[in-house]
Structure 1
Amino acid sequence: MKQKLKIKHVLYLVPIGLFLAIWEIAGQVAQTPLFPSFSKVVVEFGSLLSNGILLKSLGASFGRVLIGYILGSLAGLTVGILMGVNKVVEHSLRPLISILFPIPTLGWLPLLMLWIGINEALPVVLIFICAFFPVAYNTLTGIKEVKGEYIKAARTLGASSWYILWHVILPMASPNIFTGLRLEAGMVWRTVIAAEMFAIPTGIGALLMNSESLIRVDVIMVCLVVLSLMCTFFERMFLWLENRTTGAWR
């Protein structure tokens, strides 16, 4: 078992090591600011950390992501549950959600810029939209996949509707719910970066655009690495929560 884990770790790390080595060699050979080596990017990463620019930009983006994602997820869960347990609500809202869901999140950006203006609310609303529709849809799908005999059995044993919702329906629908939450955990970071690049003067996206205007490719690469790490962290966090809550019986 331990041997298999070691082999798995090696297979996981070797491609990353090769990629970084090729990047370093190519950067050293190129000797151009347009393609800095990995070591130069690491030095710039440390410099941006020490002068506080990176942490300030990341903090601004993180705050927007957190507010928009929490509000969007809660709203999506609420609407998804209401649609899943009430056919009248489902028939009323499902056509509207089916129409709006396929619209790319960034497709709302020009309209929201006119409605809301260029301010802190703009990226938060975009992230809200990004999280709301997938979470609502996956919650509804998960509830619909719960077998009716389990609900009937609970009712036969005298369980109330509220008890059935919390102890039968939601636990059995939780794999789908967590899938929606996990998939959007990374997508919201892509959304906030795009919103900041186009409309907001602060955050990782704004730092990216400022670096492009100054031809600071090393800073651009630092921002991209940070974005990748944050997307991975959010997705892994929800994968861990999913395994903790549903892994034993899923």
Structure 2
Amino acid sequence: MSGLPLDTPAPAPAEAAPRRRFGAGRALRDGALVPAVSIATVLAVLALWALATEAGWVKPLFLPPPGAILSAFAQAWNGDLDGAPLGMHVRDSLLRVVGAFLIAAAAGIPAGLAMGTSRIARGLLDPLIEFYRPLPPLAYLPLMIIWFGIGELSKVLLIVLACFAPVALATRSGVLSASGDQINAARALGASRWQVLRYVVLPAALPEILIGLRIGMGVGWTTLVAAEMVAAQAGLGQLVLNASNFLRTDVVVMGILVIGLFAALFEFGMRWLERRLVPWKGKV
């Protein structure tokens, strides 16, 4: 009779261990490679920026040197530009963006769940969202001013509308991606409609919901400048717009960098939250 004797030990476990260790080491190397490449890219861009400005390849009116940006930051921090310190501009902008984002999330997630689970809700909400979603915020900014005035309400509502659409549509997409077999199995075990939504549909839609929140936060930051165009006493967008009127390119670049910094911090925070809430994403 051909084949291995019964008392011959199987070599599979001994061979599988090095293979697993190799896979873990490769994952660690890949995880360390991405931040290293990102840091190297940022340093290369900064070096090219300094070289181009110091060598006179680009006029300061179009791209100020890094030293001018630091000087503008110090002026803004002390309130020497428009009488308001940079901390006040940051505070007002954060209150507008974060407040509008929370309102959009609180309304967009239930709306997306309703569109994903109910044909009636989808028929009611989907045409409205798809109609205004491609419109730039500046297109309906005059209506916000006519309807709600030039106060904080119109600014916050403008950012809410910009954030609402991606959150709602991403939530609807996540609900529709839930496995029908899992839903039918839960119903067969006697789960109610709420239990199916809570324990089956919502966990399956959570990765898409988090992506929609990330996109919504990014759209909120891009809408901030448009929202602060109208009678804003303080804010990063208002600071940038006022500086552009006086051709203070150094202040404009400084404001853009500050906005980008806070937007990146929120993005990294959302990525961390995604790793904590949906650790199985990309692994199953």
* Aligned match for 1:25, one of 20, 40, 51: 51
Contact 1:187 1:231 in 2 (8 A): no
* Aligned match for 1:43, one of 71, 74, 89: 71
1:25, distance to aligned residue in structure 2 (A): 2.6
For 1:105-145, what per-residue CA distance to the aligned partner results, in whole angstroms no more than 9, with x for missing partners? 33211221221121111220011101111111111111111
Match of 1:92? 124
Match of 2:17? none
1:5, distance to aligned residue in structure 2 (A): 5.4
Match of 2:91? 59
1:172, distance to aligned residue in structure 2 (A): 0.3
Paired AA for residue 138 in structure 2: L
Equivalences for residues 161-200 of structure 1 within 5 A: 161-200=193-232
Paired AA for residue 259 in structure 2: L
* Aligned match for 2:191, one of 120, 145, 159: 159
The yes-or-no answer on 1:225 pairing with 2:276 is: no
Contact 1:127 1:191 in 2 (8 A): yes
The yes-or-no answer on 1:137 pairing with 2:137 is: no
Unaligned runs of 5+ in 1: none
* Aligned match for 1:109, one of 122, 138, 141: 141
For 1:28-65, what per-residue CA distance to the aligned partner results, in whole angstroms no more than 9, with x for missing partners? 33396524211221233234234462111111111001
Unaligned runs of 5+ in 2: 1-24
Rounded Cα–Cα distance in structure 1 between residues aligned with 2:35 and 2:281:
27
Match of 2:273? 241
Rounded Cα–Cα distance in structure 2 between residues aligned with 1:61 and 1:109:
17
Q: 1:192 to 1:4 in 2, by over 3 A?
A: closer
Rounded Cα–Cα distance in structure 2 between residues aligned with 1:44 and 1:92:
50
Match of 1:72? 104
Q: 1:172 to 1:39 in 2, by over 3 A?
A: same
TM-score normalised by length of structure 2: 0.80
Q: Which moved more, 1:174-183 or 1:95-104?
A: 95-104
* Aligned match for 2:237, one of 185, 198, 205: 205
Instruction: Tell me the number of residue pairs that the alignment of Structure 1 and Structure 2 aligns.
Output: 250
Rounded Cα–Cα distance in structure 2 between residues aligned with 1:181 and 1:10:
27
Q: 1:214 to 1:92 in 2, by over 3 A?
A: closer
Q: Which moved more, 1:222-231 or 1:7-16?
A: 7-16
RMSD: 2.1
Paired AA for residue 17 in structure 1: L
Rounded Cα–Cα distance in structure 2 between residues aligned with 1:206 and 1:102:
25
Rounded Cα–Cα distance in structure 2 between residues aligned with 1:135 and 1:182:
9
Identity of aligned residues (%): 33
For 1:15-34, what per-residue CA distance to the aligned partner results, in whole angstroms no more than 9, with x for missing partners? 22122122223323339652
Which structure carries more relative contact order (alpha carbon 8 Å, separation 6+)? 1
Q: 1:102 to 1:215 in 2, by over 3 A?
A: closer
